């Protein structure tokens, strides 16, 4: 979809009130009006408790339907409420992507005893103990679901590792031993082998596990009428499995079934290799762009804005780039904290929402706020969404010619003088850019829409105009309607 926008419709600190699916449903009209074309919903299956954000995935088949872990609903509501929210979004043509947590399982029903070795936590290929018996939380029987949808029960054979020995309470990274068992291959090589992340790590070398998870994938798409997946923590999952999983799903639901992977690594070469090994059958979040934003926001005027797009998927593989500013992991207090400083959020959103390249993802926390506090950025994001929807079309010309002020111009739709836009970003002084918008615009009036206080400007007889920006701010200019 032209100028599509994804919204990540949750943040870490949402209340545990079971009303989120209801809020999402009630918000469908508004989302559609501002130009949102897809919603990334949080992990919608039963976690370790009703408070679980969803990444402590207990039972993928329980979408808020069974009394398990002390609750029928998830943090966000019941399966029925989720279904209603999705139906409502679909009425407006908004796609729905489910957050899919396949790396690990949490909150096992029972412990089991099995042989394991301890490995070096900073190099998981290094065994640092003799094999011995430990007691781990690896048995999942899902008594509350009672075999509905699937009768698969998990035991230690289906996991590669755990981090807790219940026998003596010791935390360590334990590699589970057994026939043909090892860490999954085709994972990130940080920590030697980064298969293990947390909880009970799923063993994708096991054919029964592959079958069960692929069955679940096919089931959940049909059950919820999903349009895509956001694949959690793919750097910790066998890339061969991810490829097979998406392939199997698309053999049923078609190539257009959407996928974006979270490969949390500020290393473009590794992200490029991952795209290649997945045959470009998935998008990736542009983690490099996020870290550029973070660095720019922390360094202030000493950051050279001309480098803001360096080493990003947006430049190297723009068709696969999902550009974002912050998310539930990077927000303050979260696992991968690297939140963009407030003053720079408008800059970052101007880049992702007004650029020709990339599929932008708007973060709930930036738009609606965090922990129930209203976001100070909603107004400016609304302005940018308006410009994206109505003006940000056509070829992009970058004016990245000064370290502290950069600008870019979108030429607009063909034969439509009333579209097109200019964005100017400053991280220091106020200033201006002389930009060529074309002789066909001579005499046209342009206005600034972020409330920066600039007077309207007129394009001169040579097709140039002067676009100002205030110190440390952004300005966004559009042609005044004719």
Least distance CB 200 / Ca ion (angstroms): 10
Least distance CB 185 / Ca ion (angstroms): 11
Buried b (16+ CB within 10 A) or exposed e, 245-257: bbebbeeebeeeb
Least distance CB 60 / Ca ion (angstroms): 15
Residue span binding Ca ion (CB under 5 A) among the ranges 103-111, 137-145, 171-179, 455-463: 103-111
Taking the least distance from each CB to Ca ion, the nearer of 205 and 445 is 205
480 in catalytic set: no
Q: How far is CA 464 from CA 441, 459, 460, in A?
A: 9, 5, 5
Please report whether residue 262 would count as binding Ca ion according to CB under 5 A: no
Least distance CB 474 / Ca ion (angstroms): 40
CA distance 33 to 29: 6
Q: Where do we find the tokens 């289906």?
A: 158
The helix/strand/coil state of 335 is coil
Please report whether residue 201 would count as binding Ca ion according to CB under 5 A: yes
Least distance CB 240 / Ca ion (angstroms): 13
What would the two tokens of residue 243 be?
């490829």
CA distance 337 to 349: 19
Residue 21 near residue 84 (C-beta atoms within 8 A): yes
Least distance CB 183 / Ca ion (angstroms): 8
262 in catalytic set: yes
Taking the least distance from each CB to Ca ion, the nearer of 213 and 425 is 213
Taking the least distance from each CB to Ca ion, the nearer of 210 and 236 is 236
Q: Which residue of the set 59, 188, 227, 262 is catalytic?
A: 262
The helix/strand/coil state of 33 is helix
Mention every residue, 6+ apart, whose C-beta is less than 8 A from residue 5: 35, 36, 37, 38, 353, 360, 361, 362, 385, 388
How do beta strands 95-100 and 228-231 pair? Answer: parallel
In the set 27, 195, 212, 326, which binds Ca ion (CB under 5 A)?
A: 195
Please report whether residue 103 would count as binding Ca ion according to CB under 5 A: yes
Q: Which residue of the set 232, 239, 326, 366 is catalytic?
A: 232
Taking the least distance from each CB to Ca ion, the nearer of 236 and 389 is 236
CA distance 478 to 339: 30
CA angle 199, 203, 208 (to 5 degrees): 125
In the set 46, 210, 236, 345, which binds Ca ion (CB under 5 A)?
A: 236
Taking the least distance from each CB to Ca ion, the nearer of 8 and 103 is 103
Taking the least distance from each CB to Ca ion, the nearer of 193 and 383 is 193
Residue span binding Ca ion (CB under 5 A) among the ranges 194-202, 254-262, 345-353, 414-422: 194-202
So which residues are the catalytic ones? 232, 262
| Residues within the interface to Ca ion (CB under 5 A) | 103, 195, 201, 236
């Amino acid at each position: 979809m032209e100028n599509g926008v994804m919204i990540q419709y949750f943040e870490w600190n949402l209340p545990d009130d079971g009303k989120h699916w209801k809020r999402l449903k009630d918000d469908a009209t508004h989302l559609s009006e501002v130009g949102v074309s897809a919603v990334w919903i949080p992990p919608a299956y039963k976690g370790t408790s009703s408070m679980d954000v969803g990444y402590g995935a207990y039972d993928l088949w329980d979408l808020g339907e069974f009394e398990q872990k002390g609750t029928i609903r998830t943090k966000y509501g019941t399966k029925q409420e989720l279904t209603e929210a999705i139906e409502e979004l679909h009425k407006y043509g908004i796609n729905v992507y489910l957050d899919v947590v396949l790396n690990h399982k949490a909150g096992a029903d029972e412990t089991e005893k099995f042989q394991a070795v301890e490995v070096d936590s900073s190099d998981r290929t290094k065994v640092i103990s003799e094999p011995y018996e430990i007691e781990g939380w690896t048995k999942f029987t899902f008594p509350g679901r009672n075999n509905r949808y699937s009768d698969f029960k998990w035991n230690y054979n289906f996991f590669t590792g755990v981090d807790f020995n219940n026998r003596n309470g010791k935390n360590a990274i334990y590699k589970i031993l057994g026939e043909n068992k090892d860490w999954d291959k085709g994972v990130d090589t940080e920590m030697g082998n980064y298969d293990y992340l947390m909880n009970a790590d799923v063993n994708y070398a096991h054919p029964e596990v592959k079958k069960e998870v692929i069955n679940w994938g096919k089931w959940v798409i049909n059950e919820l009428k999903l349009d895509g997946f956001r694949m959690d923590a793919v750097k910790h999952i066998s890339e061969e499995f991810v490829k097979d999983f998406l392939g199997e799903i698309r053999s049923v639901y078609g190539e257009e079934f959407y996928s974006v992977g979270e490969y949390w690594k500020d290393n473009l070469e590794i992200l490029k290799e991952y795209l290649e090994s997945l045959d470009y059958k998935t998008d990736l979040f542009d983690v490099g762009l996020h870290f550029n934003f973070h660095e720019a926001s922390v360094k202030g005027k000493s950051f050279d804005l001309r480098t803001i797009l360096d080493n990003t998927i947006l430049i190297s593989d723009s068709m696969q780039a999902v550009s974002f500013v912050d998310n539930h992991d990077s927000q303050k207090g979260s696992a991968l904290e690297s939140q963009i400083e407030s003053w720079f959020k408008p800059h970052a959103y101007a880049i992702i929402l007004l650029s020709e390249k990339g599929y932008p993802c708007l973060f709930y926390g930036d738009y609606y706020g965090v922990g129930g506090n209203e976001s100070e950025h909603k107004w400016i994001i609304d302005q940018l969404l308006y410009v994206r929807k109505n003006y940000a079309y056509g070829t992009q010309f970058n004016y990245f010619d000064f370290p502290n002020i950069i600008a870019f111009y979108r030429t607009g739709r063909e034969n439509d003088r009333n579209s097109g836009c200019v964005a100017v970003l400053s991280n220091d002084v106020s200033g201006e850019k002389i930009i060529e918008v074309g002789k066909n615009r001579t005499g046209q009036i342009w206005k600034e829409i972020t409330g920066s206080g600039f007077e309207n400007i007129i394009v001169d007889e040579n097709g140039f105009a002067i676009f100002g920006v205030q110190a440390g701010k952004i300005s966004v200019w559009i042609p005044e309607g004719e």
